[in-house]
Amino acid sequence: MNHRTKSLWLPALITLFGASVLLTAVQFAGFQPRLVWFGRHAMLFYWHWLLVLPLFGAFGAYLSRRAQGSPGARLLAGLAPVVVMLITMCLILPWAIALDGLSPLLIASFSVGLVNWVALPALALLIGAAPFLRQPERGVGTEARI
């Protein structure tokens, strides 16, 4: 297995899978999202999911650091769920504009979606990943290979 796979792709996939399974478990457990209104726009907050996300950000960054990933690889591994969501939203936006045209409602909905599904989870994941972004001290995470 090459270095990029060990230090970026596997930790990122584990973080993405864990965060997705957690969101599914929160929904199946019956926890209801909190509906918060901002003017005429509403956002659903999955508080239970957001509170546990730092653990997944930390785990992804830890796995990347353990595989001697660069600080950038650790950051991407910890933020993988929001990177995937941002890419998905940016792929859907042109399609929505082509189908429905550019309207203030579309812009507002996209902006609320970015805050709800990218910015807030990114902040939660970053809180968990932050301790693992600096370079490890000499000897930490550099076990002898046999």
Domain boundaries, the chain: 3-132
pLDDT digits (tens, 9 = 90+) for 107-138: 988 998 999 999 999 999 999 999 999 876 66
Task: Supply the pTM of this predicted model.
Answer: 0.86
Say what the pLDDT of residue 59 is.
97
Q: What is the pLDDT of residue 37?
A: 87
User: Mean pLDDT over residues 79-99, rounded?
Assistant: 95
User: What pLDDT sits at residue 142?
Assistant: 54
Give the other-Cβ count within 10 Å of 139's Cβ: 7
Beta bridge partners of 36: 43
**Predicted pLDDT at 40:** 77
Q: What is the reported pLDDT for 139?
A: 60
Which residues does 40 contact at the CB level (< 8 Å), separation at least 6? none
Contact criterion met (CB below 8 Å) for 67 and 7:
yes
Task: State pLDDT tens for residues 10-21.
Answer: 999 999 999 999
pLDDT digits (tens, 9 = 90+) for 24-56: 999 999 998 999 887 777 888 899 999 999 999
Give residue 146's pLDDT band: very low, low, confident or very high (50, 70, 90).
very low
CB 48 within 8 Å of CB 121: no
Least confident of 13-22, 58-67, 95-104: 95-104
What pLDDT, on a 0 to 100 scale, did the predictor assign at position 44?
86
pLDDT at position 138 is 63
CB atoms within 10 A of CB 38: 10
